[in-house]
Protein backbone atom coordinates (compact mmCIF):
# COMPACT_ATOMS: atom_id res chain seq x y z
CA UNK A 1 0.00 0.00 0.00
CA UNK A 2 1.25 3.35 -0.83
CA UNK A 3 1.82 5.85 1.92
CA UNK A 4 -0.28 8.90 1.95
CA UNK A 5 1.54 12.08 2.17
CA UNK A 6 -1.51 14.09 3.34
CA UNK A 7 -2.17 15.18 6.84
CA UNK A 8 -3.67 12.61 9.09
CA UNK A 9 -6.40 13.35 11.55
CA UNK A 10 -5.18 14.48 14.87
CA UNK A 11 -6.02 12.54 17.94
CA UNK A 12 -7.15 14.68 20.81
CA UNK A 13 -7.49 13.36 24.33
CA UNK A 14 -11.10 13.46 25.52
CA UNK A 15 -11.63 15.65 28.53
CA UNK A 16 -14.37 14.68 30.96
CA UNK A 17 -15.91 16.90 33.56
CA UNK A 18 -14.99 16.27 37.16
CA UNK A 19 -17.27 13.50 38.47
CA UNK A 20 -19.70 14.48 41.17
CA UNK A 21 -19.50 13.20 44.70
CA UNK A 22 -22.28 10.67 44.06
CA UNK A 23 -20.65 9.53 40.84
CA UNK A 24 -17.35 8.91 42.60
CA UNK A 25 -19.12 6.95 45.32
CA UNK A 26 -21.02 4.80 42.80
CA UNK A 27 -17.83 4.07 40.86
CA UNK A 28 -16.17 3.05 44.09
CA UNK A 29 -18.73 0.31 44.78
CA UNK A 30 -17.54 -3.15 43.90
CA UNK A 31 -19.80 -6.11 44.54
CA UNK A 32 -18.29 -9.43 45.33
CA UNK A 33 -20.10 -12.74 45.41
CA UNK A 34 -20.04 -12.73 49.21
CA UNK A 35 -21.72 -9.30 49.41
CA UNK A 36 -24.43 -10.39 46.94
CA UNK A 37 -25.10 -13.56 48.98
CA UNK A 38 -25.33 -11.52 52.21
CA UNK A 39 -27.76 -9.02 50.65
CA UNK A 40 -29.88 -11.92 49.42
CA UNK A 41 -29.85 -13.44 52.93
CA UNK A 42 -30.97 -10.11 54.44
CA UNK A 43 -33.83 -9.79 51.92
CA UNK A 44 -34.87 -13.39 52.56
CA UNK A 45 -34.80 -12.83 56.33
CA UNK A 46 -37.02 -9.76 55.98
CA UNK A 47 -39.49 -11.65 53.78
CA UNK A 48 -39.63 -14.57 56.21
CA UNK A 49 -39.72 -12.60 59.46
CA UNK A 50 -42.09 -9.76 58.47
CA UNK A 51 -45.35 -11.78 58.76
CA UNK A 52 -44.20 -13.33 62.05
CA UNK A 53 -43.32 -9.91 63.44
CA UNK A 54 -46.69 -8.55 62.34
CA UNK A 55 -48.48 -11.43 64.09
CA UNK A 56 -46.42 -10.85 67.24
CA UNK A 57 -47.32 -7.15 67.32
CA UNK A 58 -51.02 -7.94 66.76
CA UNK A 59 -50.96 -10.41 69.66
CA UNK A 60 -49.30 -7.84 71.93
CA UNK A 61 -52.05 -5.34 71.03
CA UNK A 62 -54.76 -7.92 71.82
CA UNK A 63 -53.10 -8.70 75.16
CA UNK A 64 -53.01 -4.99 76.02
CA UNK A 65 -56.70 -4.61 75.11
CA UNK A 66 -57.69 -7.62 77.19
CA UNK A 67 -55.66 -6.35 80.15
CA UNK A 68 -57.46 -3.00 79.93
CA UNK A 69 -60.82 -4.81 79.91
CA UNK A 70 -59.79 -6.88 82.95
CA UNK A 71 -58.79 -3.70 84.83
CA UNK A 72 -62.15 -2.08 84.06
CA UNK A 73 -64.07 -5.15 85.18
CA UNK A 74 -62.00 -5.36 88.38
CA UNK A 75 -62.92 -1.76 89.19
CA UNK A 76 -66.57 -2.60 88.53
CA UNK A 77 -66.36 -5.66 90.82
CA UNK A 78 -64.87 -3.48 93.60
CA UNK A 79 -67.70 -0.97 93.22
CA UNK A 80 -70.31 -3.73 93.38
CA UNK A 81 -68.68 -5.20 96.51
CA UNK A 82 -68.92 -1.79 98.16
CA UNK A 83 -72.57 -1.52 97.18
CA UNK A 84 -73.26 -5.01 98.57
CA UNK A 85 -71.59 -4.01 101.85
CA UNK A 86 -73.90 -0.96 102.07
CA UNK A 87 -76.97 -3.12 101.49
CA UNK A 88 -75.92 -5.34 104.41
CA UNK A 89 -76.35 -2.35 106.75
CA UNK A 90 -79.92 -2.19 108.22
CA UNK A 91 -79.89 1.61 108.49
CA UNK A 92 -79.05 1.91 104.76
CA UNK A 93 -81.93 -0.43 103.89
CA UNK A 94 -84.27 1.63 106.08
CA UNK A 95 -83.15 4.87 104.39
CA UNK A 96 -83.60 3.39 100.91
CA UNK A 97 -87.09 2.14 101.81
CA UNK A 98 -88.03 5.64 102.96
CA UNK A 99 -86.60 7.34 99.85
CA UNK A 100 -87.58 4.89 97.13
CA UNK A 101 -90.75 3.22 98.43
CA UNK A 102 -92.06 6.02 100.72
CA UNK A 103 -92.23 3.67 103.72
CA UNK A 104 -92.66 5.13 107.19
CA UNK A 105 -92.08 3.72 110.64
CA UNK A 106 -95.10 2.94 112.83
CA UNK A 107 -96.48 6.10 114.40
CA UNK A 108 -95.03 8.43 111.72
CA UNK A 109 -97.13 10.39 109.26
CA UNK A 110 -95.95 10.74 105.67
CA UNK A 111 -96.84 13.72 103.54
CA UNK A 112 -96.36 13.49 99.82
CA UNK A 113 -96.29 16.85 98.04
CA UNK A 114 -97.03 16.70 94.35
CA UNK A 115 -95.92 19.65 92.30
CA UNK A 116 -98.92 20.46 90.11
CA UNK A 117 -97.45 23.56 88.49
CA UNK A 118 -96.90 23.42 84.75
CA UNK A 119 -93.30 22.94 83.71
CA UNK A 120 -91.27 26.06 83.14
CA UNK A 121 -91.10 27.32 79.60
CA UNK A 122 -87.96 26.30 77.82
CA UNK A 123 -85.80 28.92 76.20
CA UNK A 124 -85.87 28.91 72.42
CA UNK A 125 -82.35 27.98 71.26
CA UNK A 126 -82.68 29.74 67.90
CA UNK A 127 -80.86 33.06 67.64
CA UNK A 128 -82.84 36.28 67.59
CA UNK A 129 -81.13 37.53 64.48
CA UNK A 130 -78.81 35.92 61.97
CA UNK A 131 -76.89 39.09 61.18
CA UNK A 132 -74.89 41.42 63.38
CA UNK A 133 -76.32 44.82 64.09
CA UNK A 134 -74.37 48.00 64.57
CA UNK A 135 -75.61 51.02 66.43
CA UNK A 136 -75.46 54.30 64.58
CA UNK A 137 -74.81 56.49 67.62
CA UNK A 138 -71.46 57.51 68.98
CA UNK A 139 -71.95 56.86 72.67
CA UNK A 140 -68.34 57.72 73.52
CA UNK A 141 -68.66 61.10 71.91
CA UNK A 142 -72.01 61.69 73.60
CA UNK A 143 -70.57 60.77 77.01
CA UNK A 144 -67.54 63.01 76.51
CA UNK A 145 -69.74 65.92 75.38
CA UNK A 146 -72.01 65.48 78.38
CA UNK A 147 -69.11 65.43 80.82
CA UNK A 148 -67.40 68.44 79.26
CA UNK A 149 -70.68 70.35 79.06
CA UNK A 150 -71.48 69.67 82.71
CA UNK A 151 -68.01 70.55 83.88
CA UNK A 152 -67.46 73.75 81.89
CA UNK A 153 -70.90 75.40 81.99
CA UNK A 154 -71.87 78.29 84.22
CA UNK A 155 -75.59 77.60 83.90
CA UNK A 156 -77.66 76.60 86.91
CA UNK A 157 -79.34 73.18 87.05
CA UNK A 158 -82.72 74.80 86.46
CA UNK A 159 -81.40 76.40 83.27
CA UNK A 160 -79.83 73.15 81.99
CA UNK A 161 -82.92 71.03 81.90
CA UNK A 162 -86.21 70.07 83.37
CA UNK A 163 -84.61 67.67 85.87
CA UNK A 164 -85.05 69.15 89.34
CA UNK A 165 -81.97 69.79 91.39
CA UNK A 166 -81.53 67.52 94.41
CA UNK A 167 -82.75 69.01 97.64
CA UNK A 168 -80.28 69.06 100.50
CA UNK A 169 -81.18 66.92 103.53
CA UNK A 170 -82.49 68.81 106.56
CA UNK A 171 -79.80 69.55 109.09
CA UNK A 172 -80.25 69.19 112.83
CA UNK A 173 -78.64 72.41 113.97
CA UNK A 174 -81.37 73.18 116.40
CA UNK A 175 -80.02 73.35 119.93
CA UNK A 176 -81.46 71.69 122.96
Block mean pLDDT (10 aa), the chain, length 176: 64 69 74 86 91 91 96 97 94 91 89 83 77 78 85 78 61 56
Nearest to 42 by CA among 52, 31, 50, 32: 50
pLDDT number for residue 171: 63
Distance CA 176, CA 165 (A): 32
Q: Contact, 112 vs 102, CB < 8 A?
A: yes
pLDDT number for residue 16: 64
Q: Quickly list DSSP for 34-85.
A: HHHHHHHHHHHHHHHHHHHHHHHHHHHHHHHHHHHHHHHHHHHHHHHHHHHH
pLDDT number for residue 27: 75
pLDDT number for residue 68: 96
- Whole-Å CA distances, 65 to 69, 73, 79, 128: 6, 12, 22, 49
Does the model's pTM come out above 0.75? no
pLDDT number for residue 49: 87
Amino acid sequence: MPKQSGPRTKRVAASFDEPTQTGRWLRGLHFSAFSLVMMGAVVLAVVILAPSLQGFLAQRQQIADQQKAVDQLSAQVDALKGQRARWNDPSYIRAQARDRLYYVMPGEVSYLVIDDRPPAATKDPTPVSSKLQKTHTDWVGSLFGSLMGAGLTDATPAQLGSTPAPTPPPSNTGGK
